[in-house]
Structure 1
């Protein structure tokens, strides 16, 4: 919980970057809502990529990126216009955001998830060209389109999967 205020700042930074880069609607001005982030923390889904900027000289730990790692079947992924690579158990990366203080932080988060779990799914907005690039250059296959089930509008997302066989 001590990282929560900084996490909120990072999500605000991510929303600003998305809007500046032609993707103003994916997260709008309020996503992820505070209660979602608190629930991620309470349920142990929050993953932080950190470093120690001061090294051996007593520097403070910095959050480079954060995401929610969700285990089990994601109900949003039950229906896809396309096809998943397979139906074996997977984890899902949601709500990934980089703080902007280190290059390739989102890619490092994705690499860690692949190393730990092997079968990873994710999705992103059609206007989120940056995340599409990160996923595709990280070896993810574009599997099709899914529809978010937790909102009434702007629901189409591009679905990705990478399975380390």
Structure 2
């Protein structure tokens, strides 16, 4: 491993991805709470509000091995740097789009991505990992989530149009993105 310039940074090579387990649940809840606070402070208070993702959603992601973690190790202790749900198969929310997807090929969807704030570019690292392993990736975000729009667009995703969430009565519009590694 190379020595880092700053003593409080960690070599990116030490980072790895793994599935979340029930042991990670409490820390994952803290990271989602941190993300909700940041979202609200940056002008996006309604996408996740004060309670999303619900506890049952996180538990379901863990149980079905959709919850992925970007981790590293410092001082012999593992740290969660970021987390996301990686959902294979067709997403029912994406069946109708005001616009057009890049293609109709098989894809995975990234949902509920959140960084712990311990390192820079952790969300981007998660997206790169998904692209490397799956090639065709879709995601969506709230029109007020300028940070995630920037992360997706700077990661080469195309803005494909607008979709409407199926699981809530209000604030349903999301910007849909896709990137397909040909």
Alignment TM class, shorter chain as reference: over 0.9
Query: How many angstroms apart in 1 are the aligned matches of 2:114 and 2:106?
Result: 24
In structure 1, which of residues 123, 133, 140 is the aligned counterpart of residue 150 of structure 2? 133
Query: How many angstroms apart in 2 are the aligned matches of 1:63 and 1:85?
Result: 33
Mapping for residues 111-130 of structure 1, pairs under 5 Å: 111-130=128-147
Query: Partner of 1:35: helix, strand, or coil?
Result: helix
1:14 aligns with 2:14: no
1:115-146 residue CA offsets vs partner (Å, 9 max, x unmatched): 00000000000000000000000000000000
1:152 aligns with 2:169: yes
1:20-68 residue CA offsets vs partner (Å, 9 max, x unmatched): 00000000000000000000000000000000112xxxx2000000000
1:70 aligns with 2:91: no
The TM-score, its normalising length taken from structure 2, stands at 0.88
Segments ≥4 residues shifted beyond 3 Å: none
- CA positional deviation for 1:149: 0.4
1:5 corresponds in structure 2 to: 26
Query: How many angstroms apart in 1 are the aligned matches of 2:77 and 2:139?
Result: 31
In structure 2, which of residues 43, 50, 54 is the aligned counterpart of residue 33 of structure 1? 54
1:99 aligns with 2:120: no
Q: What RMSD, in angstroms, separates the aligned Cα atoms of the two structures?
A: 0.3
The TM-score, its normalising length taken from structure 1, stands at 0.97
1:50 aligns with 2:71: yes
1:23 corresponds in structure 2 to: 44
Gaps of 5+ in 1: none
Query: How many angstroms apart in 2 are the aligned matches of 1:120 and 1:93?
Result: 7
